[in-house]
Amino acid sequence: MSESKKMGVVQLTTVTAINMMGSGIILLPATLAEIGTISIFAWILASIGATILAFAFARCGMHTKKVGGMGGYAEYHFGRAGNFLSNFCYTISLIIANAAIASGVVSYSSYVFGLRLSPLEVCLATIGVLIVAATISLVGPKKFGKFTSFGVACVVLPVIGLIVFGSFHFDSSIYLTAWNPQNLPFSETMKSSIAVIIWAFLGLETACANSDTVENPEKNVPIAVMAGTLLAGLCYTTSTAIIGGLVPYQELMVSGAPFGLAYASMFGDRVGHIVSCMLVCSCFVSLTAWQFTVSEVAREASTIGLFPKFLSKVNSFRSPYVAIGTLVVIQSAMTLSSMSPTLLKQFHILINLAVMVNLIPYLLAMASVSDLQKAEDIPPKKARIANIAGVVGGIYSVYAVYGCGWTVILSGFAVTGIGLIIYAMVSSRLRYMPAVQVASATAFQSDGK
């Protein structure tokens, strides 16, 4: 790809931030209201864990010479099978996650327009949103990176407003009443909260997944990973805490638009609807970012020969249009199969499964940090901190897996097992090329043109 078509560091940071903040921040306050405001401790733990993971990913991004994002990291320890399994699980998790984000768009839109949708209408609306978002992502990484800046503004401004004005309306009695409504043990509240909150930070690895579309990736990927994670963590923790002191948890836990409800409690319904409109935009931009990311993961895996060759086809804007179209078909089928009577229930089902499947590539990558640095001749003293971060990030990911619950864990292992079976069936026929060969082939094609 020519440098003129690539994203800069600011654009990559906004893509990373909007992927984390676009949907989680607008629906998670309602999802966590049933657990209570005690979940603030889980937010703190998750923020620390996500930052450590981000640091480990940033170090990997600085030193790796393999393509494939997290799959390339996993290859250092687990070989070609690790690269395939990481990309397979990550692609599946993003397909699921995008359906969840689309349901968030529909949830807020129904609040804004006062619609009461049947389960079938919700599914059809969700599929429509997925198709539109995928179509927009066809414009390519350069234009698309600028588009995400608009989404960040639409979510950051309501968060800033909530922090500034929410402190004046904050009611400590509402917050304390919602502290632990089910009187659960502390360990149980943490376990119940952590998997849901991990959803909020899915996307910290987005800069790694899009490394092939950014200028100077060795320098800019680590910056985007850390900056995007810190921005998202700050916004998440403060806004969720403030909303817990503005809206009674009984209302919050059944709300399809918690931010809109919080602003309505301060300034009236009109302001609540305006804020909800902004968050619909941010959630939709987040979806377009994820649609582009998942197609880019599939394209990169196809380029190095791990996925079918046809998925590597791109249009004149360098957007993988075949991969995008294929993934939308899969997402549509999955959305129909997860139809639920309530939007929040459907959202919760989807995010738990997406989190579980997404944690597999995290675990593979964290287990490979040490091998990656050894292979790239990083001095032991310089590599020590990143190795520690890899161990801590792995432990954190295992705890997050535990928090998903056994039903979801079994589903996640089933997806992993399917991936291994597929790899065993096709491994002998894969046209796998290491990063050096890919680079050489790309250079040859460019010279030929």
Check if the beta carbon of residue 51 is closer than 8 Å to that of residue 233.
Answer: yes
- pLDDT for position 439: 40
DSSP type of residue 306? S
| CA gap 397, 402 in Å, rounded | 9
Task: Please report the DSSP string for 93-149 in residue order.
Answer: HHHHHHHHHHHHHHHHHHHHHT----HHHHHHHHHHHHHHHHHHGGG-HHHHHHHHH
In tens, the pLDDT along 230-279 reads 878 888 888 888 999 999 989 888 777 788 889 999 999 889 889 888 88
Check if the beta carbon of residue 154 is closer than 8 Å to that of residue 285.
Answer: yes
- pLDDT for position 111: 73
Check if the beta carbon of residue 273 is closer than 8 Å to that of residue 112.
Answer: yes
- pLDDT for position 441: 38
pTM of this prediction? 0.81
- pLDDT for position 366: 94
- pLDDT for position 370: 94
The stretches in the chain having pLDDT less than 70 are: 1-7, 18-19, 22-27, 68, 140-148, 206-213, 218, 338-349, 431-449
In tens, the pLDDT along 71-120 reads 889 999 999 899 999 999 989 988 888 888 888 788 778 877 878 877 78
- pLDDT for position 394: 92
Q: How many CB atoms lie within 10 A of CB 382?
A: 11
- pLDDT for position 442: 40
CA distances from 401 to 208, 224, 337, 397, 443 (A): 22, 26, 24, 6, 41
| CA gap 312, 297 in Å, rounded | 10
- pLDDT for position 247: 92
